[in-house]
Structure 1
Amino acid sequence: MLPDVGEGLTEADILLWHVEVGDSVELDQTIVEIETAKSVVDLPSPVSGTVVELGAAAGATIVVGALLIRLEEKSAAVPTESELIAPVAGEPVPGPPGPKVQAREPVLVGYGVTDDRARRRHIRLDRDDGVRRAARPPIHPGLVHTNGQAAIGAEPELRTPIKGVRRAMADAMVHSAFTAPHVTEWLDADVTETMSLVRRLRADRRWAHLRITPLVVVARALLSAIRRNPQINTSWDEEAQEIVQLARVNLGVAAATPRGLVVPNIKSADLLSFTELTVALADLISTAREGRVPPADMRDGTITITNIGSLGVVGGTPILNPGEAAILAVGAIRQMPWVVDERIEIRDVVQLALSFDHRLVDGALGGKILTDIREYLEDPATAIALE
């Protein structure tokens, strides 16, 4: 059975089977890679034995409690005739009685809920000469003649099922957009000194083992601004209609992955030193891109930073991660004319955009956060030394 993977999730996508029918497996050997709405998970075998059946093909979506894999345990005793004809999962065991090992259908972790309505939404697997395959998508009505045949020369539509991480993020963004009153403020910041600091640290052998990026300095600047203005680190209690002041800053980082956007967070980021933050940020981004974010790292974020500049985007109005008070978008760093001491110079400039929940944050507080970040980025070496 597909185990209950926790987090209230009721389904998963089969990404990759590591075994085939007839393979021998050992206890705790990884047998399949699945993707839930939270992350990618490797499932181990609960027993040692032989693979008898795979419950679904790679690419299929199955619900918790559905057949995942059928195994014959190595340690099972030779059954009696009555045991051989006993039903397994409600079906008769095929074949004549004989000295065979009884097939069992163990639960990998535990049972979970099933929902027939949800099951009908998923990819239907058909049996055709023993081969499982995904059902073909329907032809668009505009491409069909009255006789039901596809129109000659018509280009078929390309349809991509939205599931797993992508569907979870789509649902979260719709919920956020229609439940929290969004306001966005932005400003341009001179980050010439920030870029100079990044280059110096990268050239310093003492920092060679760390991945120093402008994003680390911006994240540090955001945490410094929150320390000066802790009232932004809040959440909204809908039931009590209260603003909740949070003790720690769990800094979320939006990461684009092949499976969609995820927002893991660094727990208690406000307690970390610059070096510790650098390591934590690099580890988080690497793990996210590999699709291996633990579900716990996706929970309880308080404020998020998104580096849209890595995509070459100058600026934008980001949507809040559900439940959080604010999100900071960092645009592409560009060389631009800038007034310095009444003269024009070419400087490194970035646009910062802060979207926030207007129930929790007013325009004055949002502006204070942005100007504090700008002040930090204009002289980061001094700011870090004073912390």
Structure 2
Amino acid sequence: MTAGTANAQRFREFKMPDVGEGLTEAEILKWYVQPGDTVTDGQVVCEVETAKAAVELPIPYDGVVHELRFGEGVTVDVGTAIISVDTDPGAGPAGAPAAAAAPEQAAAAEEEDAEPQGRQAVLVGYGAAPSSTKRRARKPQPGVPAQPEPVKAQLQAELNGRPAAVPTPAPVAPAAVPTPAPAAPVPPAARPVGAGAAGRPLAKPPVRKLAKDLGIDLSTVAPTGPDGIITRADVHAAAAPAAAAPVAPAEVPVAVAPAAAEPGIVDTAARERRVPVKGVRKATAQAMVASAFTAPHVTEFITVDVTRTMKLVQELKQDPDMAGLRVNPLLLVAKAFLVALKRHPEVNAAWDEARQEIVYKDYVNLGIAAATPRGLIVPNIKDAGGKTLPQLAAELGDLVATAREGKTSPAAMTGGTVTITNVGVFGVDTGTPILNPGESAILAFGAVKLQPWVHKGKVKARQVTTLALSFDHRLIDGELGSKLLADIAAILERPKRLITWS
């Protein structure tokens, strides 16, 4: 077994998994371990944020953390190694590659922390570092200008990872004009430490790729390797301060201040800030655009007297069967929505564009729109239609608490059929909600307010709210949508229908 194979078996890499359905990337929010820490199979090592939620990732190996490949705040593609673990730390230092290894294998291998004594590190494309031994320059032939070496230049460019380009030969000077003497080479002392003959920082190809992935300019990295070579550890050290710093909006060039002769001009750029669109916010924006321009939306409104429902909420809070549960108007709105769906099951459907079919569902996964620090998410209660009121209250409370903590799993946000958005908690009367992609309807529950209302032939102060129902007009025509909304309102006006209509 070669040293490279042994190292590969000993140092195990954990790659960024697809923690959702078809996600392509995730941002590393926080590392819970550092190099040198002991980890066990199943231990959570980091927290990442996908386009759907924040998720904690467990490591599938026992051993000692060898390397963290990316810092906090870095977005990593799914399938990319993010951490390596030494699964046999008692075996001593990792074995070096065999001396007879092919040159191309040695060039692609990871750099060693130190070179053997008496040998200089030779970097592909740079040659040996300057030393006390000097070779006499080749004497140019009289009358013949120096010519470039196209083949050598092309090979060197390819090894350096730069696009191959053959330099254009210099024009031959007229015979009457003497050939100018070649320029004197730059003395080694004039080059900065860590720079090659062309002024580029010295680093092996794997290190260059790492720097590119992390967005690090190698010219700003202080080298610690032999002969001024930049190592992988140097790149990570340069990336660490940027990753540890609090996330700040991207800098905006400050506009030139207006001249004193133009007092009416205001410098607005200095009072603007820009924040990258990513994570939950990016996913929500893409989903809303796709929904708005794919499903033809129809929104209907109804204003209803919910005084009896609000009275029932207060009574349920004192009910021993509801002890310890979160009882609020949203709970009864959710129950009314589910009862109305049983009366109109054709609403609970989905449009399959690929197969040109309507999929009717015998289950209801009720989504609840939740505002979180990372943006709007819509987790759903699975099989909500078959749950009792106490069960629905328990799951609704857990769903909201988990969402506010940012711990909602991607699985909890998939498979929804209909959704409720409670805009009333913000004091808003109503709105025109946009469908969650793949769902058939969404109900907006507005603020409950005391308003003058005709009750039993007299104008009285009653607790009133406005409901708005948006639905996919491909699936639901105006009659069906109107009946559903009217039934929800009727239940909230007289909540005893929760019993008679169930």
- TM-score normalized with structure 1 length: 0.84
Q: Secondary structure at the match of 1:198?
A: helix
Q: How many residues align?
A: 362
Mind listing any 5+ residue stretches in structure 1 that lack a counterpart?
99-118, 146-151
The correspondence for 2:97, drawn from 68, 82, 90, is: 82
Match of residue 18 from structure 2:
5
| 2:69 is the alignment partner of 1:55 | yes
Equivalent residues of 1:2, 1:63 under 8 A apart: no
Instruction: Report matched runs for 1:337-376 at 5 Å.
Output: 337-376=452-491
Letter in 1 for 2:379: P
Match of residue 131 from structure 1:
238
Task: Report the CA distance between 1:244 and its aligned residue.
Answer: 1.9
- Deviating more after overlay: 241-250 vs 376-385: 376-385
Task: Report the CA distance between 1:75 and its aligned residue.
Answer: 4.5
Task: Report the CA distance between 1:136 and its aligned residue.
Answer: 9.1
| 2:76 is the alignment partner of 1:72 | no
Match of residue 298 from structure 2:
183
CA distance in 2: counterparts of 1:349 and 1:122, whole angstroms = 56
Cα deviation digits, residues 241-265 of structure 1 (max 9, x gap) = 2322111111111111111111111
Q: Which has the larger radius of gyration?
A: 2
Task: Report the CA distance between 1:377 and its aligned residue.
Answer: 0.7
| 2:347 is the alignment partner of 1:334 | no
| 2:250 is the alignment partner of 1:143 | no
Letter in 1 for 2:40: E
- Percent identity, aligned pairs only, is 48
Mind listing any 5+ residue stretches in structure 2 that lack a counterpart?
1-13, 118-209, 223-236, 258-266
CA distance in 1: counterparts of 2:288 and 2:336, whole angstroms = 26
CA RMSD of aligned residues (A): 3.1
Residues 322 and 209 (structure 1), Cα distance of their counterparts in 2 relative to 1, 3 Å cut: same
Equivalent residues of 1:56, 1:125 under 8 A apart: no
| 2:350 is the alignment partner of 1:235 | yes
Residues 166 and 15 (structure 1), Cα distance of their counterparts in 2 relative to 1, 3 Å cut: same
Letter in 2 for 1:42: E
The correspondence for 1:220, drawn from 335, 357, 375, is: 335
CA distance in 2: counterparts of 1:173 and 1:203, whole angstroms = 40
Equivalent residues of 2:253, 2:269 under 8 A apart: no
Query: Which structure has greater strand proportion?
Result: 1
Task: Report the CA distance between 1:95 and its aligned residue.
Answer: 2.4
Residues 237 and 386 (structure 1), Cα distance of their counterparts in 2 relative to 1, 3 Å cut: closer
| 2:99 is the alignment partner of 1:93 | no
- TM-score normalized with structure 2 length: 0.66
Q: Secondary structure at the match of 2:411?
A: helix
CA distance in 2: counterparts of 1:290 and 1:361, whole angstroms = 36
- The structure with higher relative contact order (CA 8 Å, sep 6+) is 1
- Deviating more after overlay: 343-352 vs 270-279: 270-279
Q: Secondary structure at the match of 2:270?
A: coil
Letter in 2 for 1:95: A
Task: Report the CA distance between 1:267 and its aligned residue.
Answer: 1.3
- Deviating more after overlay: 222-231 vs 80-89: 80-89
The correspondence for 2:32, drawn from 18, 37, 44, is: 18
- Deviating more after overlay: 344-353 vs 74-83: 74-83
Q: Secondary structure at the match of 1:384?
A: helix
Match of residue 300 from structure 1:
415
Cα deviation digits, residues 68-107 of structure 1 (max 9, x gap) = 1233334463444437998798423332579xxxxxxxxx
CA distance in 2: counterparts of 1:88 and 1:321, whole angstroms = 51
